[in-house]
Every structure is written in structure tokens, then in C-alpha cells.
Structure 1
């Protein structure tokens, strides 16, 4: 597959998590806030070919009051191998001022619920060069 397909599949899965949290078009329109990607890192582990079956899983890594750090894992179900990871740091912003803005309490709670739901007993494969600055 072309790089665009790996990236698109991972971004789509991340978008579904944002929607589950409640960060939708309605959210952006009614609150005037949303997310900007501050940084991302894509890493390839094994090739996926067109026609092979894939799944994408998203794991939350951490959050601060304005930033969420997550990783999408593209798994090739046909070969049973990890194909790639897309690690993202996304900043919550006021769309009017274009500056970082703290999460509202309900959004912070929804993100925390998503982070707590991750019960995998193995560490997220992060690049080590990015994350939440404290």
C-alpha cells in the first residue's frame, strides 16, 4: 500500500475515537473549540498489500489539560503482524483565537474514560521523541 493509505486508515480510527468522546462537528460549531495536530510520527513494521484484511486499534497514552497523546496501531489481520503505528499529539484549541485552550470538564472526563478503558497488558509502542510536556 502507498503511505497515504496507512496514514488515512490510522487517522480515520483516531477520528472515530474523537467522535466517541464527543468531539464532533457539532462540538466544534457549538463550543468553538477543536483540535490541531501538533506532532505525529508514523512508523512502519511490516508491509500491507492491497486486498489484505486489516484492523486499526487506538490506544490513549496520556493527556494534560490541553493535549492528548495517542497511538493508532494498524494490524495486518491476514499476516497477523503489526503493520504500522501513527503516534499523535493533538492540542485542544479555541478556534476563534487559534490558541491552546483547556478541555472542558465533560471532555476531560470523556478522555479519561477512554484512557482508563485501555486494559491491554503490554506497553504502547511510542517513538520516545514526543509526548505530554509537563
Structure 2
């Protein structure tokens, strides 16, 4: 995830994000009421996934030499299914984007698994039919 986010309390926020999907680089811009909202909009423009943010939690991890933000989000997709994602970065906005990408990766894994199950069922049906 590479992102540039600009925030203005009077004009809202803008974001430009770049991600790689299956080795192909994509870029999109988003606008929102805040920097995280704008980043989420930019990311979601690059994928086929809808829904809404259901829960957002951020906390700090601090040791003697450095600090990082941990963001946990719960996303409700258009079908009502809840997805959990987590991101960690010294930049809380980047951690938020990583949490959304974590969810998108889980959705992709589940979709691939569903395709494998469907293909296996299809193959079993053909075998049974040909007996």
C-alpha cells in the first residue's frame, strides 16, 4: 500500500492510493470526511467489494525506541457478513489502510476456496454422470 492523504478541516480529505492486485499495480483517488474515510474510498475503488465500516479501534504499541499504531476494524459487507482486519504501522492512517487490505485478502482467500469447492462439486457431478 502506498498512499498520499491530504486533510483540510474545511474542505474534507483527499487520498491517492496505490496497491498491487495479482501483480498488477492499480491507483485510485478518494474523498471523505476524514483522512481514513478518504483512504478507504480510494482502496475500495480498486476492488469489487462494498459495505460499510462497522467498528474501528486504534491503540498504541510503545517500546523504548519506537511506537506503532495498531488498528482493528470490522467491516460489514453488502450481504451483512462481518469481516475483521488488522493493520500495524507507525502511521495510524497507513495502519487503517492495511487493516482494510487485510480484510480484502481474507475475502479473496474465501472466494478462491469457494471456487475450488464449486469446481470439485462440478467434477464429482461429471464423474457420477459418466458412470
Task: Please indicate, yes or no, whether the TM-score normalized by the shorter chain is above 0.5.
Answer: no
Q: Which has the higher contact order (CA 8 A, sep 6+)?
A: 1
Q: Which has the higher strand share?
A: 2
TM-score (norm 2): 0.26
Which structure has greater helix proportion? 2
Larger radius of gyration: 2
Give the TM-score normalised by the residue count of structure 1. 0.26
